[in-house]
Amino acid sequence: MKAAVIVYPGSNCDRDIAVALEKVTGRKPLMVWHGESDFEAVDVIALPGGFSYGDYLRSGAIAARSPVTAEVVKRAAAGVPTIGVCNGFQVLTETGLLPGALMRNANLKFVCKDVHLKVENAATIFSNAFDKDQVIRLPVAHHDGNYFADPATIEALEAEGRVVFRYVNADGSSGNGANPNGSRNDIAGIVNQQGNVLGMMPHPERLIEQALGGADGRALFESLAQAIDKTAG
């Protein structure tokens, strides 16, 4: 599996996600600078977390208009698996590849802590190595992670099984502060209708081996590798 990591000015998780991809695939990903208008063919595109362009205007707004992002949009629309984590999720909504928007956290404070997620859909290319309803632990670190969409969009996401991850408590229940940012329906990660674009606020790349304090995020990258290997085979 050959991957590309898009690097914007202000990205701070590009190395993290590159390391995660290499650990799982055994292959160093291509690091693509935001000013590039094209890059070689890859199997996966990753938009990392961070604070692209210092979050000026609003999170992800300028990055969505970077030269390289036009190529990302083109390839994602053509079916190339694309993942956006944290700021990457914000960029994906700004481009229209995913619906909705990431707003200021409900408490108007930066949130940096571990959260628990329920795997709502384990049949996507990003989640097939998880079990449905499995509860995992991942870190979050954001100020603008409050997922919002109009009621019709939320209803469609739920009905079509496009909510992949949802904030829960450690026992899988909702409420009692499980939602760190106020996201509608406790949504932590969604896919597009085609199923090849995933956006999520928690950071799977930060927990891929026990040396980092846990490995709950590793299955996401294993899911991608397995899905792509199956397609190639």
- Mean pLDDT along residues 13-33: 97
Q: Which CATH number fits domain 3-232: 3.40.50.360, 3.40.50.150, 3.40.50.880, 3.30.365.10?
A: 3.40.50.880
pLDDT tens across 121-130, in order?
Answer: 999 999 999 9
Catalytic residue flag (residue 22): no
Q: Give the per-residue pLDDT at 233.
A: 61
Q: Give the per-residue pLDDT at 230.
A: 80
141 CB contacts (<8 Å, ≥6 apart)? 49, 86, 110, 111, 112, 203
Residue 99 confidence (pLDDT) above 80 = yes
Q: What percent of the chain has pLDDT over 90?
A: 97
Catalytic residue flag (residue 112): no
Residue 15 confidence (pLDDT) above 90 = yes
Domain extents in the chain: 3-232
Residue 86 confidence (pLDDT) above 80 = yes
Nearest to 84 by CA among 69, 67, 103: 69
Catalytic residue among 13, 86, 116, 142, which? 86
Cα–Cα distance between 225 and 221 in angstroms, integer? 6
Catalytic residue flag (residue 40): no
Paired tokens of 178: 């499980």
